[in-house]
Structure formats: structure tokens, C-alpha cells
Amino acid sequence: MHRAPLYLFAWMTVLLCSAASAQAPAPTAAPKASAVGQCLPAQAAFLVATLRGAVNTNLNWHSDELQCDGSIRPDGTGLRISVAGPLPAAADGTPRRLRFVFGIDTAANGPALPTNLTVIIEGEGLLFATRGDARCTTDRLQRDAGGINGRLEVRGFCTGPALTLDGNQRLLVSTFDFSARLSQE
């Protein structure tokens, strides 16, 4: 399997988010209209997840709080899906966002699809990665009739934590269930 494109995508996301944070002051609230426009219409997008470790929370995000997008990997062997939403503000009042980047191996045989997961806490420069697809599994992947440029529903779980690059912090995403947009690009 080729994991380099997913890692490159995750690093580019971190660099772009860091550059954007350095160039412009963080908004006090994310504009809801653009978040909906970047995900799915008619309240169709959601993410429900259980996180333990560096972040302890049960997420239940819906269309008005989400940014999401997905595409087929360049080599055609899987999907890359990004879903982002709000976290409570930092102690100093700074807004924070949490971004998930799922790399799902659709070339695998059977109903359990190996999944690579990267989680980024935007505004804090924290990146957690499973560093491969052995710790997380997608056990349901359903595309709407439109396939490309349509809705994608995913459910899965992780049995091992994602780690910071230095290995000092852990984040276990024990369950995830989301609906996002899949585009051709």
C-alpha cells in the first residue's frame, strides 16, 4: 500500500493551517454558511466519535458545524476524507478546531477496511497519527447512488491510539461514524 500520499496530505494540511493561523487573526466564530457549503446540504453531514487521551470528549457534530470533503486517492486504491469541527475554546479563549483525516483502503478484501487516521488540533499545532492502517478499521462504507460528487457514510473504530510525532501524547478514537462529501478532485 502507498501511504506516502496520505502522510503528504496530512502534513500539507498542518502547514496550510499553521500558515493561515500566522497570517490572519483567528475568527471568534466560524461562519456557518461557508461550513455548510463545504460539506453536504440539507443537514446531511454529521460526525459522531468517542475520543480518549489528549482530548476526552464525545463528539456529535452536524452540518452547521462541519467542514468536510473527500476524494479518491490518486492511485485509486482508497479514499481520503477530511472532517473538521469545533472544540471548546482554549483556556485563553482562543478558538480551536479538530480535523480528522481518514485514509481508507478500499482495495482490501472483505467488509473490514484498514484505515489510517490523522487527527489535527488546529490552533495548537498538535498532530496525532496512527502511522499506518493497522490500528483503525472501517466496518461500514456506503456511497449514495451518485458515487462521485455525492454522499459517503462511514462507520468504524480504532483499537490503538494515534500518537504525536514525538510519541509523548496519545489519542484513541475508539468509534467514529460520519457522513461527508466525496468529490472527484
The reported pLDDT for the residue numbered 158 is 98
The reported pLDDT for the residue numbered 47 is 95
- Residue 27 CA, chain-centre distance (Å), reads 21
**Cβ neighbour number for residue 30 with a 10 Å cutoff:** 18
Range of the domain at 120: 4-22+31-182
The Cα–Cα gap between 90 and 28 comes to: 12
- Give the model confidence (pLDDT) of 120-142 as tens digits: 999 888 999 999 999 999 999 98
Total of domains in the chain: 1
The reported pLDDT for the residue numbered 146 is 56
Residue that has been written with the C-alpha cell 502511522 in this structure? 131
Amino acid at 21: S
The pTM of this model reads 0.78
Residue that has been written with the C-alpha cell 476524507 in this structure? 81
